[in-house]
Chains A and B, each alone.
Chain A
C-alpha cells in the first residue's frame, strides 16, 4: 500500500520498486557534510573513504551475481547499461562481423539500440517468439551466421514475466564465439542469477527494480577474451575509462545495499511472489474472456499479464483507477500503439489494448491482492454492461 495514498494499491513493481528503508538509511550516510560525501576520485582521505564505499558496494553486487567485482561497471541504470553493452561490444567486434540477433519482444531500450546500430551499418535479425513468448532454440541456431557477433535476449520479460532459457542460448553462443548480452533488469535480485555458471558475457541491471534508488545501474562484462566494450562517453577516466563521469557514491551504496538485501531475501521473496500470483490468478482466472499473456510455466511469479475479450483498454484503466497497474492501452488517441510484445504473442489490437500487467513485490499483501481481484471483477461487470462486445468464451 502507498502510505501517502491509502486508497491506492500499488501493483506496478515491474515499473519500479520502493527503496527499502535499510537501503535508504545506508544511502543517507553518503550525502551530507556529516557523512561521506567526497568525490571518490579525490586522493585525499575523505575521497578515499568514498572510494572504499564504492568498492564495498561493487563487492556486494558481485556477491549477488557471483562474479568478480572488477567485472562490474557502474552506469546510470539499465538503459545506459544496455546501450554500453550492445553498442560498445558491437563496435568493438565490428571488424569481425556486423550481424546481430535479438527479439522484437525485448524492452525498447534494447530494440531501439539495435535500430541505432542498423543505422551504423550493422545487420540485425529479429527473431519472433513462440505463442508463449519464448525463443525457439532451433530457429535461433538457424539464424546464426558466420559473421554474427552479438546476441541480446532478456532474462525476464518486463511485460509478461516470461523467462527465457538463458543457459541454453548462452551455450549456443559460446560454442560459436558469439557474445551474449542479457537485459536482466527484471530478474536480478529476484531470480537466482549465478553468472559463474551461466554463459553470459554482458548483463544489464538497474537498482530501482530491486528496492534500490533510481538513477544507478551496472553493466556486467565478463573477464574473458573477446568480451569488451568501447566507451560511449569520454572524459574523466572513471570505471577504467569505459563509463567516465563522477561516481554517485550514495546511489552506488544504495545499489550495493539493495543487492546485499536481495541476496539474503531471495528465497523468501520468491515464495512470497508465488503465493501472491497464485492468489490473484485464482481470483480472476475464471472471469469469462480472460486470457493470460505469456507462458504459464516459464514465467516470473512477480508479473501476471492478462487481456480480456470485449473490453476497451482505456476504459478498463479508468475503471481500475484505485489500482496502480501497467496497461496495454494509451490514454491519447494519437498514441494508440499496441504492445509489440503482446502482438508478437498473437494478441490482436483490441486484446493487446485491454492488457493489464499486475506486478507484485516484497511489500505486497494478500489483502491488496484481494482488493485487486474485487476491483478487476467489478470493472469487467461495469464495462460489459456498457459494451456491445461480449466475451467470445462467455
Chain B
C-alpha cells in the first residue's frame, strides 16, 4: 500500500480542472452527428474518448471521457476548454509541452498527455478525412 506522498504532486490548476470537469461526459443524445475518437494505452490502462460537434470549420462542442490519472483528466479538461469554438485545425495543434508547462505536469507523465494528443489527432482525421504525418 502507498501510504505517503512526500510532496503534493498536483498543481493548483490540475486540482481546479480535476474538481470542475465541466467538459466531462458524453454529448447529449440530440447531437447525433457528433464525431468520436478513442485512444487507449495498454501499459497504464489509460483511455481517452473525445466527442465533437463540428459546424463547418468550427468545433462547436467538445467533450471527453477519461480513465486515467488526475493529470490526464486536467489536461483533457484544459484542452477541451481551449479548443471549443476554435477552428477544426486546432485539433492538430495540441501543444503538449505548453500544456504540461501550464498545468505543471511532471515529465514522467508525458505519455499520458500524448494519449490526449493522439485522440485529438484521431478526431481531426475523423472530421476531415485527412491523414497527418508522424513528424
**Of the 9-residue stretches A136-144, A243-251, A322-330, which lies at the interface with chain B?**
A322-330
Is the C-beta of A366 less than 8 angstroms from some C-beta in chain B? no
Q: DSSP class of A's interface residues: helix, strand, loop or mixed?
A: loop
Closest to A158 in B: B1
Q: Of residues 38 to 63 in B, which have CB atoms within 8 Å of A's CB atoms?
A: 44-47, 49
Tell me which of B1, B44, B69 contacts A328 (CB under 8 A). Answer: B1
Q: How far is the CA of A389 from the CA of B45 in the complex (A)?
A: 11
B88 CB to nearest chain A CB (Å): 23
> Known contacts A12-B3, A326-B1; is A318 also within 8 Å of B67 by CB?
no
Contact (Cβ within 8 A) B3 A327: yes
Most buried by B among A310, A331, A334: A331
A74 CB to nearest chain B CB (Å): 25
B29 CB to nearest chain A CB (Å): 17
Contact (Cβ within 8 A) A339 B69: no
Is the C-beta of B18 less than 8 angstroms from some C-beta in chain A? yes
Closest to A326 in B: B1
Closest to A314 in B: B69
Q: How far is the CA of A312 from the CA of B68 in the complex (A)?
A: 6
Specify which chain B residues have a CB less than 8 angstroms from the CB of A336 in the assembled complex.
44
Contact (Cβ within 8 A) B108 A312: no
B33 CB to nearest chain A CB (Å): 20
Is the C-beta of A349 less than 8 angstroms from some C-beta in chain B? yes
Specify which chain A residues have a CB less than 8 angstroms from the CB of B10 in the assembled complex.
318
Contact (Cβ within 8 A) B112 A329: no
Tell me which of A328, A334, A388 contacts B2 (CB under 8 A). Answer: A328
Contact (Cβ within 8 A) A333 B109: yes
A167 CB to nearest chain B CB (Å): 27
Contact (Cβ within 8 A) B3 A350: no
Contact (Cβ within 8 A) B44 A315: no
Contact (Cβ within 8 A) A386 B73: yes
Closest to A348 in B: B45
Is the C-beta of A332 less than 8 angstroms from some C-beta in chain B? yes
Q: Of residues 266 to 323 in A, which have CB atoms within 8 Å of B's CB atoms?
A: 310, 312, 314-315, 318-319
Q: How far is the CA of A336 from the CA of B10 in the complex (A)?
A: 17
Q: How far is the CA of A355 from the CA of B3 in the complex (A)?
A: 12
Contact (Cβ within 8 A) B108 A314: no
> Known contacts A312-B67, A315-B68, A387-B67; is A332 also within 8 Å of B45 by CB?
no
A369 CB to nearest chain B CB (Å): 19
Closest to B43 in A: A336
Tell me which of B1, B15, B68 contacts A327 (CB under 8 A). Answer: B1
Contact (Cβ within 8 A) A385 B9: no
Contact (Cβ within 8 A) B2 A329: yes
Most buried by A among B5, B45, B69, B109: B69
Tell me which of B15, B47, B108 contacts A334 (CB under 8 A). Answer: B108
Tell me which of A14, A333, A386 contacts B111 (CB under 8 A). Answer: A333
Tell me which of A331, A333, A386 contacts B21 (CB under 8 A). Answer: A386
Contact (Cβ within 8 A) B67 A331: no
Q: How far is the CA of A355 from the CA of B2 in the complex (A)?
A: 10
Q: How far is the CA of A313 from the CA of B63 in the complex (A)?
A: 22
Is the C-beta of B25 less than 8 angstroms from some C-beta in chain A? yes
Contact (Cβ within 8 A) A386 B1: no
Contact (Cβ within 8 A) A387 B9: no
Specify which chain A residues have a CB less than 8 angstroms from the CB of B67 in the assembled complex.
310, 312, 387-389
> Known contacts A315-B18, A350-B45, A386-B24; is A333 also within 8 Å of B2 by CB?
no
Q: How far is the CA of A333 from the CA of B4 in the complex (A)?
A: 16
Contact (Cβ within 8 A) B66 A387: yes
Most buried by B among A314, A336, A353: A314
Contact (Cβ within 8 A) B70 A386: no
Closest to A386 in B: B24
Known: A14-B1, A388-B67. 6 other contacts (CB 8 A): A12-B3, A314-B69, A315-B68, A326-B3, A385-B21, A389-B47
Sample 27 A-B pairs with CB under 8 A, ordered by A number. A12-B3, A14-B1, A15-B3, A159-B1, A312-B69, A315-B70, A315-B73, A318-B15, A318-B18, A326-B1, A326-B2, A327-B2, A327-B3, A329-B2, A331-B2, A331-B69, A333-B44, A333-B109, A355-B1, A357-B1, A385-B24, A386-B21, A386-B73, A388-B47, A388-B65, A389-B47, A389-B67
**Which 9 interchain pairs have the tightest Cβ spacing?**
A326-B1, A388-B65, A15-B3, A314-B69, A386-B24, A318-B70, A327-B2, A326-B3, A331-B9
Where the two chains meet, the residues of B that have a C-beta atom closer than 8 Å to any C-beta of A are 1-5, 9-10, 15, 18, 21, 24-25, 44-47, 49, 65-70, 73, 106, 108-109, 111-112
Where the two chains meet, the residues of A that have a C-beta atom closer than 8 Å to any C-beta of B are 12, 14-15, 158-159, 310, 312, 314-315, 318-319, 326-334, 336, 339, 349-350, 353, 355, 357, 385-389
